[in-house]
Amino acid sequence: MSPGEFTLEATDGDARAGRLATAHGEVETPVFMPVGTRATVKAVDPRELEALGAQIILGNTYHLHFRPGADAIAELGGLHRFMGWDRPILTDSGGFQVFSLAETRRIDADGVTFRSVYDGSEARFTPELAMAVQADLGSDIAMAFDECAPAGAPHSDLESAVERTSRWAERCLAAPRPDGQLRFGIVQGGTDGDLRARSAGHLTSLPFDGYAIGGLSVGEERELMFGVTAGTAALLPAARPRYFMGIGDPEGILRVIGAGIDMFDCVLPTRLGRTGSATTWEGRLNLRNARFARDDRPLQEGCECPACTRFSRAYIRHLVTQDELLGLRLLTLHNLSFLVELCREARRAIIEHRFAGFSAAALERLGSGTAQRTPGSGAGEVQ
């Protein structure tokens, strides 16, 4: 397969199992992408990610543009070589970060002017700059520069964001790109079905290699988010990969897979690890809780991650409460492994045409635990 080819291997209802070819290898879907905003998945060595089964990770144009600079990364051989990761990388365009700076940004037809979060200096992003930075980074998948409106934005603001995203998408496609780099467009429109349809209609008329659903998981009501996701996915070409930007809890992943989504990312598993929590079938475990002080069980029975195969809940709690870095690293590895394995199992279930039963059983299992249901975080958000 050459870069850009996407093969659907099986469908089960709306759920899909596919294979996407990139310049750095094939990606089996559905797939969770760990977030490496600043050219690192926090606390994890790239070899550890490979051992967990991570196939593709995400980097961020906004942050890498400012530190250390895309020109420096290009001079040092590109993002893959720079961070020691030779599997596929998707880069977010930086749009989410730029449009989250509401107090300092000014939008015009050409781009966005804002203040850098690093030193407060004035900076500017345009579709052409976003694509040039991603070209210098050498990512396998580059995202188009879009406008992400906040949850609850007035209809007029959502409509303006859709129109601007469409115009900018055309400019992103017209920008030079390195050989083998794929480009994905981003559907906007908030929770408005008509605006989503308008956005999807225009973007799918353009020759993107894949399509993302953006502007969700930013604070809207959760069931509404799932409904909009399903409705938007149905508007996207079956022969192209579909990417939901920013979801990383087990329930959310299962729900968007069931809606026909192939790819997703989120900072949640690494953030939970650094705050002392583990994702399990019992729910989210806060390892600072005294009830784990003499608990000799692994975080999750049957899990083959480095934390569960060697250490007890009691030991990891000890590390966390004593601010030992190993504890946070082990929790991060476990949380990532849990989601990677969940996607593997979902893929098998789709191929074997038993996804509905698998998903229902998994959701019931999660619901019977103590999980705190947390919406996903925006793609490429700082981990």
At residue 78, the 3 state secondary structure works out as coil
Q: Start-end ranges of CATH 3.20.20.105 in the chain? A: 6-266
Separation between Cα atoms, residue 151 and residue 340, nearest integer Å: 29
Separation between Cα atoms, residue 142 and residue 158, nearest integer Å: 24
- What would the mean pLDDT of 191-209 be, rounded to a whole number? 98
- What is the predicted pLDDT for the residue at 372? 42
Catalytic residue among 14, 45, 92, 323: 92
Q: What is the mean pLDDT of the chain?
A: 95
Convert the pLDDT of each residue in 227-275 to its tens digit. Answer: 999 999 999 999 999 999 999 999 999 999 999 999 999 999 999 999 9
Q: How confident is the model at residue 371 (pLDDT cuts 50, 70, 90)?
A: very low
Residue the block writes with tokens 């089960």: 12
Give the burial class of 286: count Cβ atoms within 10 A of its Cβ; 0-12 exposed, 13-18 middle, 19 or more buried: middle
Give the burial class of 121: count Cβ atoms within 10 A of its Cβ; 0-12 exposed, 13-18 middle, 19 or more buried: exposed
C-alpha pair distances (Å), 369 with each of 88, 123, 282, 298, 363: 34, 46, 4, 16, 10
Distance of CA 222 to the CA centre of its chain: 17
CATH topology of domain 6-266: TIM Barrel (3.20.20)
- What would the mean pLDDT of 86-96 be, rounded to a whole number? 96
C-alpha pair distances (Å), 236 with each of 132, 207, 233: 26, 13, 5
Contact (CB, 8 A) for 89 and 58 = yes
Separation between Cα atoms, residue 157 and residue 205, nearest integer Å: 23
Percent of the chain with pLDDT over 70: 96
Catalytic residue among 136, 140, 146, 265: 265
- Note if 265 is an active site residue: yes
Looking at the predicted structure, is the pLDDT value of residue 378 above 80?
A: no
- Note if 136 is an active site residue: no
Distance of CA 338 to the CA centre of its chain: 15
Contacts of 286 (CB under 8 A, 6+ apart): 276, 277
